[in-house]
Amino acid sequence: MQFGLESLGEWSEAVNSEIDAESIKAYAAATNDPIGVHLSGEQAPPVYAVVPVWGVMSTAMMGVVPADALMTVVHGEQDMRFHRQVTADMTLRSIASPIGVHVKPNGTTVVVRVDSRDVFDDSLVVEQYVTTFYRGITGGEGAGLTAPDHRLSDETMAAEPVATFEQTIDTDQTFRYADASGDRMPIHLDVDFATKVGLPGIIVHGLCTMAFTSWAAIESVAAGDPSRLRRLAVRFSKPVLPGQTIVSTFWSAGEVEGASVFGFETRTSDGDLVIKDGLVEVAN
């Protein structure tokens, strides 16, 4: 099945989104975020930045993905770079572009880049790379760019961890996250649908799990200060189920451009790897 390579590199029309304190507070509450400036609605949790770009990101993705492949999609990776914090009363102007299609033996990946700027001064606020994977869709040709690398080295993971952080997913987490994020895919809400497609039951949104790891990182390696977060990147390995406990382990991975770099992975309390090749950059 051939993906639409002719659309690679084409940027979407800009979409403006007004950020309000109530939506920030709702997202923080839906992800159990304990950080004061998030709960007050003053400053958005890091992964909230996907909420205002969901439409423009999806449009860019569907510009290259054949309709018959859409139901095979899983979220592969998410890489977020924070040039400024998203704050209440900010208006973001976002554009998106599919930048790469890559055929693998077991499926095809599509990489979309999304840029969000402050309408007031046109400064770049958040830059995102979204990688989706289409299971079993092979045979076509690929082209374009890959997402920036964030793989953890064996040397990093062999060192002594600098922190571990344990969190528990609530049994109603997927319903609260769906309301706050707008992502109402039935695999997160409908048990019958989830089991029919081969899942053990409803699963936690990957971005909800990522949001949990964002505040785990802020608390563990950024001294509780979200304004220091410069980058957060993950590869989704296995779904989390409501009610499970997850444990994130952080390792020091050097420095880059005035920021400390940490690698991490997240496992359930049963040892299942749910996030791999996690990367955090924290301003010094």
Domain coordinates in residue numbering, the chain: 1-147, 149-284
Burial 57-90 (b: 16+ CB within 10 A, else e): beebbbbbbeeebeebbebbbbbbbbeebbbbeb
The class that CATH gives domain 149-284 is: alpha beta
Segments of the chain scoring below 70 in pLDDT: none
Output the pLDDT for position 50. Answer: 97
Q: Does domain 1-147 have CATH number 3.10.129.10?
A: yes
How far apart CA 28 and CA 58 sit, in angstroms, is 23
**Tokens 């997240």 identify what position?**
266
Output the pLDDT for position 198. Answer: 86
First to last CA, the chain: 47
How far apart CA 263 and CA 145 sit, in angstroms, is 23
Q: State whether the Cα torsion 49-55-59-61 is positive or negative.
A: positive
Q: Do 1-147 and 149-284 fold alike per CATH?
A: yes
How far apart CA 279 and CA 70 sit, in angstroms, is 28
Both tokens of 166, joined, read: 């344990």
